[in-house]
Structure 1
Amino acid sequence: MSLANKVLAVNNDLPIRTHKPVHSGKVRSVYWLTEADSKRLIEEKGYDVPADAPLAIMVISDRISAFDCIWHGEGGMNGVPGKGAALNAISNHWFKLFKEQGLADSHILDIPHPFVWIVQKAKPVMIEAIARQYITGSMWRAYEKGEREFCGINIAEGLSNNQKLPELLITPSTKGILEGIPGVQAVDDVNITRQNIEDNFEAFNFTKPSDINFYEKLLKDAFAVISTELEKLDQIFVDTKFEFGYVNDKAGNEKLIYMDEVGTPDSSRIWDGAAFRDGKIVENSKEDFRQLLLKHFPDPDILLNKDRMAERFALAKNNALPEDVLMKISETYIGIAEKIIGKEIVLSENPKAEIVTILREQYGLID
């Protein structure tokens, strides 16, 4: 079987029973289960959620996005082999560790297949919770231009690119476009301050002001857990994005949980420790792919300049990347995943057929 066939690029066409449109994001597709199926699964599987909680099947893909575009390769390779399985395996590993160490639960209730999560519907906190241990990327570009305040935090003079910061910085941005918040632009991914959040906690979907402290604690504690574990593998946890939300447990108690994915090469920068000590940056994350794209195209400004989005979308649509580019990224994702989970990632011969069989035979979700 060709590599292209092993890639799960389209994940919104599975015959899962649902009454709602399938929500397809850049990487994952979400199928909301019928009330009857949600109720039946909660009872059969004993999930710690209210009997009437809405459940969804979340299916990851091997698609790769960067600079807000989905990229594809030559020979019909519309994704990166092993990427989806690697992302889910890494997230599963960290979520389990957070729970074991008493931090917080996640939205995941069950993992039927390496590409599939059964999740509980959560009320999302409308914040991209970003934590930085090193100055690099967009923060460095802004610093280099003279900016010394990020998300309301003053940064010292005299820092150099890729330098470790004196302390872990929390530099949040908005999740989606939030209208009508004083001092916050109504655009996606705009930087916000802690003061913005405190003054408008309900607009960001926090239940109460004290949960702002709690989300920051969960963010810092989780960052420390991942950073410590990666250090054992001689990897550096540089920065990351977390997402949070609220759910109710079986007894009806509301709790703040981790959502989306955590500590993955998509949501984080991870550097090789040995290379860093030699003064080199070796990325074990999607940043490697971003840098590759910036070098691959003659006019990298298209990828960096938000005023050129039409050109950027055209660039991604009209340019099939060489297969070796996608295979290099595949090696990065699978390599870091295998380091983290301590075992081999086995590529499925036909992930879609496997998913359909499991969801039909073990979960009764496909007719």
Structure 2
Amino acid sequence: MANTLVHTDFHFEGQKSVYHGKVRDVYNIDDDILVMVATDRISAFDVVLPKGIPCKGQVLNQIAAQFLDATADIVPNWKLATPDPMVTVGLKCEGFPVEMIIRGILTGSAWRAYKEGCRELCGVRLPEGMRENQRFAEPIITPTTKAASGHDENISKEEIIAQGLIGKDDYETVERYTRALYKRGSEIAASKGLILVDTKYEFGKRDGKVILMDEIHTPDSSRYFYADGYEEKLEKGEPQKQLSKEFVRQWLIEHDFMGKPGQQVPEMTDAYCESVAERYIELYEDITGKHFERNDQQGVDLAARIETNVKNYLKTR
């Protein structure tokens, strides 16, 4: 039986509130810092699936921490510390209600829309004659609203500014940061034989400064292709070998689930969940170049370990 963390109910000193998101639980400490726990929950089509994935939270947290450190010279970010393999502690910011999605390749939901005749995405005109998994001439930014529940909605730069979701000056800063982060992430991926296909970033403000928040460049927020064989597969119209959560979405689609009313999530066996864990670990090792040390051994109380580590960290502040 897999050892996973799918729910938390901590009570830390100075705790003001807790937010249970789709896959992360965020604890507000003194309205000053956040303790973000990356659980092993997994979501697809904006639905939290019924079983957790072993090591998923650890993989996401450790990849995000590494990339936050690797981009801190170009974009200020919220991270202060990682007191546990599944936890990041950082600055509390006033988040913008928008996710900044940047795409270097036409695939996923953008391709599905394109195939159905869509030639404008979030105010960005798309050229005719593109193929699935083809690179854009330049990466495009396709923001979405950040829904508290349900589906996020596509939105254009002009609509974001007109609706006051982000002020014009702040939006231009966020857009500049988005491109710089994607460029750095793509360079790191290329050095590991990967292509950073698309990804999303979240930003907020603290003390008047725009700050990068949340996780970045993880398989939950990003899609990677293997560079080796990319051109050949593109020419032949073959599926790309990829490292992302898209394989989970495809598995669900094959089992007639896309998050629509009345659809049933297919059975997630322990063997299937472990196979997903192996894909997450593969991405970790490929993108970081490091061996992954599993921290989900049977008999380990993941919640108790996290509680102890976080409490010890908070005592040092």
1:108 matched to 2:79? The reply is yes
- What is the distance in 2 between the residues matched to 1:15 and 1:198? 38
- Aligned to 2:228, the other structure's residue is in SS state helix
Structure 1 gap segments, 5+ residues each:
36-52, 73-77, 178-186, 249-253
- Matching residue's letter, 2:19: H
Could you tell me how far 1:228 is from its partner in structure 2?
0.9
Q: TM-score if structure 1 supplies the norm length?
A: 0.78
- Matching residue's letter, 1:324: A
- What is the distance in 2 between the residues matched to 1:353 and 1:346? 19
* Aligned with 2:211 (options 247, 257, 269): 257
- Aligned to 2:195, the other structure's residue is in SS state strand
Q: Between Structure 1 and Structure 2, how many residues are aligned?
A: 307
Bigger drift between 109-118 and 14-23 goes to 14-23
- Aligned to 2:81, the other structure's residue is in SS state strand
The sequence identity of aligned pairs, in percent, is: 33
**Partner of 1:326 in structure 2?**
273
Question: Is the CA contact 2:194–2:287 (under 8 Å) kept in the aligned structure 1?
Answer: no
- Aligned to 2:49, the other structure's residue is in SS state strand
**Partner of 1:57 in structure 2?**
35
- What is the distance in 2 between the residues matched to 1:24 and 1:222? 27
- What is the distance in 2 between the residues matched to 1:139 and 1:361? 45
- What is the distance in 2 between the residues matched to 1:112 and 1:216? 31
- Aligned to 1:62, the other structure's residue is in SS state coil
- Aligned to 1:130, the other structure's residue is in SS state strand
Question: Is the CA contact 1:233–1:339 (under 8 Å) kept in the aligned structure 2?
Answer: yes
**Partner of 1:66 in structure 2?**
44
Could you tell me how far 1:275 is from its partner in structure 2?
3.9
- What is the distance in 2 between the residues matched to 1:245 and 1:361? 28
**Partner of 2:304 in structure 1?**
353
RMSD: 2.1
- What is the distance in 2 between the residues matched to 1:20 and 1:110? 20
Structure 2 gap segments, 5+ residues each:
234-238
- What is the distance in 2 between the residues matched to 1:360 and 1:134? 43
* Aligned with 1:194 (options 157, 174, 180): 157
Q: Which runs of 4+ in 1 moved over 6 A?
A: none
1:218-277 CA deviation, whole Å, 9 max, x = no partner?
0001001011111111111111111111112xxxxx211111111110011111222424
**Partner of 1:9 in structure 2?**
6
- What is the distance in 2 between the residues matched to 1:79 and 1:274? 31
- Matching residue's letter, 1:103: I
Larger of the two Rg values belongs to structure: 1
Could you tell me how far 1:120 is from its partner in structure 2?
1.6
* Aligned with 2:110 (options 139, 144, 154): 139
Cα distance change, pair 167–19 in 1 and its aligned pair in 2 (3 A): closer
**Partner of 1:182 in structure 2?**
none
> Counting strand residues as a fraction of each chain, which structure ranks higher?
2
- Matching residue's letter, 1:352: A
Question: Is the CA contact 1:124–1:205 (under 8 Å) kept in the aligned structure 2?
Answer: no
Question: Is the CA contact 1:128–1:172 (under 8 Å) kept in the aligned structure 2?
Answer: yes
1:131-153 CA deviation, whole Å, 9 max, x = no partner?
01111111111111111111112
- Matching residue's letter, 1:193: S
Cα distance change, pair 98–358 in 1 and its aligned pair in 2 (3 A): same
- Aligned to 1:294, the other structure's residue is in SS state helix
**Partner of 1:39 in structure 2?**
none
1:339-364 CA deviation, whole Å, 9 max, x = no partner?
22222222223222221222334434
- What is the distance in 1 between the residues matched to 2:313 and 2:211? 27
1:322-355 CA deviation, whole Å, 9 max, x = no partner?
2222122111111111222222222223222221
